[in-house]
Structure 1
Amino acid sequence: MTQRREFIKKSLLASTGLITAPAWLSGAPSLIKSLGNPPSLIEGVQIGCITYSFRQMKEQSAEAILSYINQAGINAIELMGDPAEEFAGKPGISFNRMDLFVLIGKEKQETITEDEKKQLEEMRAQIDSYNQEVAQWRERADLSKFEELRKMYEAAGVEIYAFKPSTFGKMNSDAEIAYGMKAAKALGATHVTLEHPSDDAHTLKLGKMAEKHGIQVAYHGHEQETFTFWDTALTQSPNNSLNLDVGHYVAAGNTDLMPLIEKQHERIQSIHLKDRQNPQNGKENLPWGQGDTPIEDILQSMKTSKYSFPATIELEYKIPPGSNPILEVKKCFEYCAQVLA
């Protein structure tokens, strides 16, 4: 794995001219061909992507994620925590995360067997122990590794505008929260993102800590989003803000999305783009242009009003046979480009 990561890293550096390409690079991966794509800043609107969109790809190292971003033609991202933290030396976990997600899904759907329940219990016990190990690592993590990662991404033409590590929950220590904010700044991010905790005391705490560390905390929501969903957090601190998911907002049955964006545009750090149906039509996540989310209106409004926050592609619809996340993210980007042209 170490050798593979070094190969990808050297390939990226060589392709951007930071090192001289050696002879063994003559058969380098196709990712190099994608470098030098035109920026995904179109008519003043920054189109980005959350790296969660590539979760189904087998390789999840920071170097591999960078190659996927470049192949999709994106030059600005919201970076998930694991690739960055693993690059910085975070301890590895002893089981496959996808196995865990599958079992949790079965538990929610009440289709889990007794043997699977035992397996899930064992995994959760391992997670508790692992989380303690990670918390200790975070308290002494070398932040220069995050700066190194930022430089590697910048050399390949990719800006990290948001960071989403699992360090901002109510169970995380103050030291972990501070670490997450410091790591985000080292990566060059303007804001961190997290699921809204639905806890006023915690949003107050995060906002005040964000003021101290000079970064914004942007709260994400799902179908609990409403027009006033973020109001309390926004009044608690100028460093509390929105990471608005427009697809979930529509799927929740809200019909005032555009007025919300107009009202809160100065407090929006980034939005998540996806095309979901409204409740009357089934709430499904669909290929862009087939759902009820007014993506075109949103992008045109960002263009004409000169809103500065990025629009983040989040790939959540079912990937069609013969395709892959890279191709589908690229389709979403091309959809945005056509709207803004």
Structure 2
Amino acid sequence: MSMDFTRRSAIIGGTLLSMGSGVAFARGAVSPAPTRIGVQTYSFRDMLPLPGDMVDKMIDGCRRLGVDMLELFEPTIQPPAFSENAPWAVKDGKLTQASLYGRPPEGPPPANVLETRQRIREWRLSTPLSHFREIGRRFARAGIEVQAFNFGLKEDCTDAEVEWGFAVTKALRARAMTASTTLRMAARSAPFAARHRTIVGLHGHSNLRDPNQLATPESFEQALKMSPWYRLNFDIGHFAAGGFDTLGFLHRHHKKIISVHLKDRKAHDGMNMPFGEGDTPVCNVVRTITGNRWPIPMLVEYEYAGGASVPELARIIQYVRTCAAKA
């Protein structure tokens, strides 16, 4: 990307300094700023099996895309071997059904996944925080903001792992933690968020069958009441696929939204699609955020069937910028 293309992002650029929600981040001032486009590093998962250091690969990807903000998906800073059997892994250039539909697998996990889960637990609790401080410094030296640490806040997490997630969020100097979680786990985690004084952006999916899932407007509203530190990491693809009024929810709750995941899915719990080919009101969401100058980071997420991540993300970002320019 050219430097002119990067500078053009100033129309929706700026530094996110507050969430407009009455709770400021410890290091930030409180003056709102226009929103920027960043990348959820889940989008770079095709890079995990490739040679080289993953942090270097992500920095290079961001530079090639002309973006300076990311949400750091935990597996992209774990040993890559941990992701080989993940339900969302890219294998031989192909995406899994779990990834194509943005659908975490249901039911008991297979034995190899349970074994890997134990290895992840051991790695988390044995890796010094200095390792993550250095990762944060590497992104900072490259001029890239770690907007949030995307931690797997699952019900099988031990209390020590939950503590670890908050500690790593601080070590990375991320502005918030984001987490795919459940109502039960959100209730259990509320005291941790308060003790660490850390904003948590709750992320949902489109599973409407399980009342413990964060999926419906009511479930998100219920979770927000659990802690003054809770906000929403609003995935518009999952929300629209669930059949809900995405723009209406955005207008009602924008002060509680710390970031939006941009993706395009088909309705009726359908497949992830190239941007503009699904049923998610991506352009209207981008125009609404940009036109209102709401300080909500827009994080693109590449999850449809396509090619290598950087060229696909370049197309996605251009699509989003075109939408923003019409606000």
- AA aligned opposite 1:221: G
Instruction: Find the partner of 2:158 among 173, 192, 196.
Output: 173
Extract unaligned runs of 5+ from structure 1.
1-30, 87-91, 108-119
- 1:246, CA displacement in angstroms? 0.5
Question: TM-score, structure 2 length as denominator?
Answer: 0.76
Aligned to 1:7: none
- AA aligned opposite 2:204: G
State yes or no: 1:275 paired with 2:264.
Answer: yes
Contact 1:93-1:130 within 8 A present in 2 as well: no
- AA aligned opposite 1:176: E
Larger Rg: 1
State yes or no: 1:234 paired with 2:219.
Answer: no
Aligned to 1:295: 282
- 1:332, CA displacement in angstroms? 0.9
Contact 1:40-1:76 within 8 A present in 2 as well: no
Aligned to 2:76: 83
State yes or no: 1:257 paired with 2:258.
Answer: no
Q: 1:180 to 1:128 in 2, by over 3 A?
A: closer
Contact 1:78-1:312 within 8 A present in 2 as well: yes
Aligned to 1:67: 60
State yes or no: 1:96 paired with 2:84.
Answer: yes
- 1:129, CA displacement in angstroms? 4.2
Mapping of residues 109-258 of structure 1, within 5 Å = 123-124=112-113, 126-127=115-116, 129-137=118-126, 141-166=127-152, 168-199=153-184, 202-224=185-207, 225-254=215-244, 256-258=245-247
Q: 1:67 to 1:194 in 2, by over 3 A?
A: same
| Identical columns (%) | 27
Q: 1:170 to 1:288 in 2, by over 3 A?
A: same
- 1:128, CA displacement in angstroms? 5.1
Query: Any idea what SS the aligned residue of 1:236 has?
Result: coil
Aligned to 1:3: none
- AA aligned opposite 1:305: N
Q: Distance in 1 between matches of 2:89 and 2:190?
A: 30
Contact 1:271-1:312 within 8 A present in 2 as well: yes
Q: Distance in 2 between matches of 1:246 and 1:121?
A: 30
- 1:333, CA displacement in angstroms? 0.8
Query: Any idea what SS the aligned residue of 1:219 has?
Result: strand
Q: 1:212 to 1:94 in 2, by over 3 A?
A: closer
Q: Deviations over 1:265-292 (max 9, x none)?
A: 111111110111223xx82322111222
Q: Distance in 2 between matches of 1:194 and 1:126?
A: 22
Q: Distance in 2 between matches of 1:127 and 1:74?
A: 32
Contact 2:38-2:67 within 8 A present in 1 as well: yes
Contact 1:207-1:237 within 8 A present in 2 as well: yes
- AA aligned opposite 1:82: P
State yes or no: 1:49 paired with 2:39.
Answer: yes
Question: TM-score, structure 1 length as denominator?
Answer: 0.73
Q: Distance in 1 between matches of 2:82 and 2:254?
A: 43
Query: Any idea what SS the aligned residue of 2:219 has?
Result: coil
Aligned to 2:271: 284
Q: Distance in 1 between matches of 2:82 and 2:68?
A: 33
Q: Distance in 2 between matches of 1:129 and 1:208?
A: 25
Instruction: Find the partner of 1:327 among 289, 293, 311.
Output: 311
- Displacement over 6 Å in runs of 4+: none
How many residues are matched? 281
Q: Distance in 2 between matches of 1:291 and 1:235?
A: 32
- AA aligned opposite 1:97: N
Q: Distance in 2 between matches of 1:50 and 1:68?
A: 12
Q: Distance in 2 between matches of 1:155 and 1:262?
A: 36
- AA aligned opposite 1:77: L
Say what the alpha-carbon RMSD is for the aligned residues.
Answer: 3.0
Aligned to 2:31: none
Q: Deviations over 1:114-138 (max 9, x none)?
A: xxxxxx955245325424522541x
Extract unaligned runs of 5+ from structure 2.
13-33, 99-108, 208-214
- 1:99, CA displacement in angstroms? 9.0
Q: 1:39 to 1:270 in 2, by over 3 A?
A: farther
Q: 1:93 to 1:172 in 2, by over 3 A?
A: same
Query: Any idea what SS the aligned residue of 1:45 has?
Result: coil
Q: 1:47 to 1:100 in 2, by over 3 A?
A: closer
